[in-house]
Amino acid sequence: MNDLIVARGLSKSYGATRALNDATFTVAAGRIVGLIGPNGAGKTTALKAVLGLARYQGELSVLGLDPYRQRHSLMQNVCFIADVAVLPRWIRVRQLIDLVAATHGRFRRDVCEQFLSRSDIKRDSRVRELSKGMVTQLHLALVMAIDAKLLVLDEPTLGLDILMRKQFYETLLNEYFDEQRTILVTTHQVEEIEHILTDLIFIDRGRIVLDASMDEVQESYAQVAVRPEQLAAARARQPIAERQGLGRTHMLFRGVDRTELERLGDIGVPSVADLFVAVIQEART
């Protein structure tokens, strides 16, 4: 098993609040992993630990390195966007490209120029003269031109309009991602990335409440549009969530046999958002 990130018992406190509480998870090579959690769940803290930006308790290895102690070596192969659209405002686009090219051995200028050629970004503009969307495009063009083993994105599409968000994830999937690369991404907008994710990690109140591949999720979780006459029978199967739909009650089941569920109603694949809400609520009670 080729695990890029192995975290065991990761903890981190800020004063009295425990941002990370005994978190254990792994990220395998060649996957697109969504780290999903409500605000203040510890997503950013976990990413900071992975990137060697924050001290932590517990065991953590990224690309076989200790990210806090060996941050410099780690950054040769890891690339991240911590705050999208936050680039130095005084710099010109051309200067920025020159700088990344001069300081990053794995940066490919032609790839960056190719991404940029699709935008209206002028090479002589200063970053502060660009719109927020353009700064994001620039940031992404820079990062996607770096041949990194691990790309970490923290809320990469925050503040972008829906067209750009869609375009961003399409580019990421079609033109950047391949089996050699691994992407770890956090976001609020689960709906937009669920079709590109291969793995899910749910985090709540510093704890990992789910760490599974999409395939595993689809095997063990099922959403059933329960027929009205089966309501009592369905509830007896202990669904982890229940909500009213149009004329039908939708229930989310974990680890219940498919043939049994078929008798209760129509089986569907739960959306990540529904799954997320259900798993978090279950974990909190």
Binding-site ranges for other proteins (CB under 8 A): 14, 44, 48, 53-55, 71-72, 75-76, 79-83, 86-92, 95, 98-100, 102-105, 139, 143
**Helix ranges restricted to H, 175-225:** 190-193, 214-220
Give the contacts of 192 (CB within 8 A, at least 6 positions apart).
157, 165, 166, 169
Contact status, residue 138 vs residue 97, Cβ threshold 8 Å: no
Minimum CB–partner distance for residue 183 and other proteins (Å): 15
Is residue 64 exposed (0-12), middle (13-18) or buried (19+ Cβ within 10 Å)? exposed
3-class DSSP state of 175: helix
Minimum CB–partner distance for residue 173 and other proteins (Å): 21
Minimum CB–partner distance for residue 58 and other proteins (Å): 17
For other proteins, give the closer residue by CB, 146 or 272: 146
Angle, alpha carbons 76-13-29 (nearest 5°): 35
Minimum CB–partner distance for residue 197 and other proteins (Å): 23
For other proteins, give the closer residue by CB, 50 or 200: 50
- Residue 86 tokens read as 């936050």
For other proteins, give the closer residue by CB, 2 or 103: 103
Beta bridge partners of 146: 107
Minimum CB–partner distance for residue 253 and other proteins (Å): 39
For other proteins, give the closer residue by CB, 183 or 226: 183
Q: In which order are the strands placed within the sheet that holds 199-204?
A: 78-81, 150-154, 182-186, 32-36, 199-204, 207-213
Contact status, residue 243 vs residue 249, Cβ threshold 8 Å: yes
Minimum CB–partner distance for residue 224 and other proteins (Å): 42
Minimum CB–partner distance for residue 158 and other proteins (Å): 13
CA distance 160 to 133: 6
For other proteins, give the closer residue by CB, 39 or 174: 39
CA distance 52 to 66: 8
